[in-house]
Chains A and B, each alone.
Chain A
Amino acid sequence: AQTVTQSQPEMSVQEAETVTLSCTYDTSENNYYLFWYKQPPSRQMILVIRQEAYKQQNATENRFSVNFQKAAKSFSLKISDSQLGDTAMYFCAFLRGFGNEKLTFGTGTRLTIIP
C-alpha cells in the first residue's frame, strides 16, 4: 500500500516570501501521479498542481512549482511571492498509474501567510 507523509503540520511565512512544503511518499510503483491540493478556510478544495512520474521536468503553475525527486520519493511544493490568499491547508496526494482512481492523501500542512 502507498503512504504519503507530510511532516510539517503547520507553517507560517511573511507575505511576499517563498515557502516550501514537504511531501514524501512510499511506493513500489514506477508509474504514478502526484498532486498538491489547497483547501482555504471554509472553502472548497482545489487542485494546485500535478506531476506525472515519468516526466523529468518539474511542474509549474504560476507562483507554484514542485521539486520532484523520484529516487528520493520526494515531492515538495514551493510557493513564491506568497500572498494572503495562499493561507490554507495543503494536501499532497498520490495516485497509482493504473487501475482505479483511488487517491492517497497526506495529513496536510496548515500554511499561514502573515501580513
Chain B
Amino acid sequence: DVKVTQSSRYLVKRTGEKVFLECVQDMDHENMFWYRQDPGLGLRLIYFSYDVKMKEKGDIPEGYSVSREKKERFSLILESASTNQTSMYLCASSLDFGQGQYFGPGTRLLVL
C-alpha cells in the first residue's frame, strides 16, 4: 500500500512565524500535491510538483512556497504565517495520470 505521511497532525504557530510542513511518500511517485481544506470550500490546490526541483502554482499559492529536493519529500512553507492560514493541510501523491491521488493524514494548523 502507498503510504503518505505528514510530519505533524496538529501544529500551533504565532503570526509571523515561518512554518514548515513536511510530506513523505514511500512509493516513488512522480507527482506530489499540497492542498488546504476549509469547511464549505472543499480542497483547494496550493502547489504541486511533477519532478524533483519542479513546481507549479495551484489555485491559491499566495503566502506559500514549496520545496522538493528529493523525490519522496515535498515541503510546504508558510513564509510568514497569518491567521487566515489557519486550516487543514493535506498532502497527496500520484504515480500515473488519471489513476487518482493518495492522501496523507493531514496537518491541522492553527495560527494565533
Question: Which chain A residues have a beta carbon within 8 Å of chain B's beta carbons?
Answer: 4, 9, 33, 35, 37, 43-47, 50, 52, 91, 95, 97, 100-103, 105-108
Is there a chain A Cβ closer than 8 Å to B56's Cβ?
Answer: yes
* A residues in contact with B77, CB < 8 Å: none
Is there a chain A Cβ closer than 8 Å to B107's Cβ?
Answer: no
Q: How many residues of B contact A (CB 8 A)?
A: 25
* B residues in contact with A4, CB < 8 Å: 42
Question: Within the assembled complex, what's the spacing in Å between the Cα atoms of A106 and B48?
Answer: 19
A50-B99 contact, Cβ under 8 Å, with A102-B45, A105-B43? yes
Q: Cβ of A101 and Cβ of B94 under 8 Å apart?
A: yes
Give B58's nearest chain A residue, CB to CB.
A102
> Which of A44, A45, A106, A107 has the most chain B CB within a 10 Å cutoff?
A45
The interface bits of chain B over 31-48 (1 if a CB of A lies within 8 angstroms of the residue's CB, else 0) are: 101000000111111001
Question: Within the assembled complex, what's the spacing in Å between the Cα atoms of A43 and B103?
Answer: 10
Question: Which chain B residues have a beta carbon within 8 Å of chain A's beta carbons?
Answer: 31, 33, 40-45, 48, 50, 56, 58, 90, 92, 94, 97-106
* A residues in contact with B50, CB < 8 Å: 100-101
Distance of B90 from chain A, by nearest CB (Å):
7
Question: Within the assembled complex, what's the spacing in Å between the Cα atoms of A30 and B45?
Answer: 23
Q: Cβ of A91 and Cβ of B42 under 8 Å apart?
A: yes
Task: Knowing that A100-B48, A101-B101 touch, tell me 6 more A-B residue pairs with CB under 8 angstroms.
Answer: A4-B42, A45-B103, A100-B50, A101-B31, A101-B97, A103-B33
Q: Cβ of B41 and Cβ of A102 under 8 Å apart?
A: no
Question: Within the assembled complex, what's the spacing in Å between the Cα atoms of A46 and B94?
Answer: 13
Distance of A39 from chain B, by nearest CB (Å):
8
Q: Cβ of B48 and Cβ of A47 under 8 Å apart?
A: no
Show 22 residue pairs from A and B whose CB-CB distance is below 8 angstroms, ordered by the A residue.
A35-B100, A44-B105, A45-B92, A45-B103, A45-B106, A47-B102, A50-B100, A91-B42, A95-B98, A100-B50, A101-B31, A101-B33, A101-B48, A101-B94, A101-B97, A101-B101, A102-B45, A102-B58, A103-B33, A105-B43, A106-B42, A107-B41
